[in-house]
Structure 1
Amino acid sequence: MKRKVVTICGSVRFWNKIQEMSERLELENEYVVIGIIPHILDRDLTECEKDLLGELHRIKIDLSDAIFVVNVDGYIGDSVKNEIEYAKENGKEIIYLENN
């Protein structure tokens, strides 16, 4: 059986839920999950770093069959909205934690 590859998308304010869903998707639903890198440095990211991380996340989406949106309480921030739009434009399936 070929496993579907999904990229996790969501606000890092929901980091614990993102980690939980990554584990569940791989163990229970047999997906291969491409995760996100949490911002753990004790400083603000530069605009160049933000741009780089955005570019890298789009590459992750390109490698995926789908994205999995961790939208706790329906929250979808601007960055994730952009990622959803990018995924749609590139024919990727969009899977939501919570129905919109």
Structure 2
Amino acid sequence: MKRKVVTLCGSVRFWNKIQEMSERLELENGYVVIGIIPHVMDRDLTEYEKNTLGELHKIKIDLSDAIFVINVDGYIGESVKKEIEYAKQKGKEIIYLESSD
């Protein structure tokens, strides 16, 4: 059985929810979850580091069947909006924590 591979997308301000959903998606849904690295909360990143992480996140999306957007209270930041657009361009499924209807 092929497992669905999903990349998490969301603001690190929701780090606890990101961790919770990573665990739930793997244990309850059987997904292979590609996560977000936690160290970005500990310090300000240089522009080079931000660009590198953005590029790496696109590669994670390329490797995935879908992205899972952690949109707590409907919040989607600018970088996550760009990730959603990228995923759409690549024909990836977009799954939201909270529906926008």
CA–CA distance in structure 2, aligned partners of residues 74 and 40 of structure 1: 21
Structure 2, unmatched stretches of 5+, are: none
Aligned amino acid, residue 85 of structure 2: E
| Deviation (angstroms), 1:40 | 4.0
Distance 1:5 1:91, change over 3 A: same
Q: Match of 1:33, SS?
A: strand
Give the conservation status (yes or no) of the 8 Å contact 2:22–2:33: yes
Aligned amino acid, residue 4 of structure 2: K
| Deviation (angstroms), 1:34 | 0.2
Correspondence for 1:89: 89
Task: Within 5 Å, give how 1:29-44 maps onto structure 2.
Answer: 29-38=29-38, 39-41=40-42, 43-44=43-44
Aligned amino acid, residue 12 of structure 1: V
Aligned amino acid, residue 88 of structure 1: K
How big is each residue's C-alpha offset from its partner over 1:5-59, in whole Å with a ceiling of 9 and x where there is no partner? 0000000000000000000000001100000112143x31110100000000000
Do residues 67 (structure 1) and 67 (structure 2) align? Answer: yes
Give the conservation status (yes or no) of the 8 Å contact 2:6–2:65: yes
Q: Match of 2:98, SS?
A: coil
Superposition TM-score, scaled by structure 1 size: 0.96
Q: Which runs of 4+ in 1 moved over 3 A?
A: none
**Identity percentage of aligned residues:** 84
Aligned amino acid, residue 76 of structure 2: I
Aligned amino acid, residue 30 of structure 2: E
Aligned residues: 99
